[in-house]
Amino acid sequence: MMYKTELIWAVAEKTDFLKDASARAVSALLDAISETVSQGEDVVLPGFGTFTCSTRKARKGRNPKTGEAIDIPAYTIPVFRPSKKLKAAVNAK
């Protein structure tokens, strides 16, 4: 598993940036993706994947503790769809 700090170090090594510059670049990228997707727009990174939003319908559910019927409201979630190239890279191992 790679955490954000490790990602920052990996970017710094591959780009010869200082750690601080890499941290700002990674944070800016993540912020831009978050802002764009939260506005309902897609972020397409060719060769990597697409970040988009998906809406879940309202539905009935059950409280597992009491068994009582509850209403689950509709909500929007972020979704990532990997590209064919990323899928191939993952399955090549």
Distance CA 67, CA 38 (A): 34
16 has pLDDT over 80:
yes
pLDDT at residue 57 in the model:
96
Q: Percent of the chain, pLDDT > 70? A: 99
Distance CA 58, CA 68 (A): 17
28 has pLDDT over 90:
yes
Q: Where are the domains of the chain?
A: 1-39, 47-59+71-93
Distance CA 55, CA 71 (A): 16
- The pTM of the full predicted model, rounded to 2 decimals, is 0.81
pLDDT at residue 71 in the model:
96
Q: How many CA atoms lie within 13 A of 28 on its CB side?
A: 6
Q: Does residue 76 contact residue 38 with C-beta atoms inside 8 Å?
A: no
Instruction: Decide yes or no: CATH 2.115.10.20 for domain 47-59+71-93.
Output: no
State the Cα torsion 89-47-27-93 to the nearest 10°: 0
Tell me the pLDDT tens digit for each residue of 60-81.
Answer: 999 999 999 999 999 999 999 9
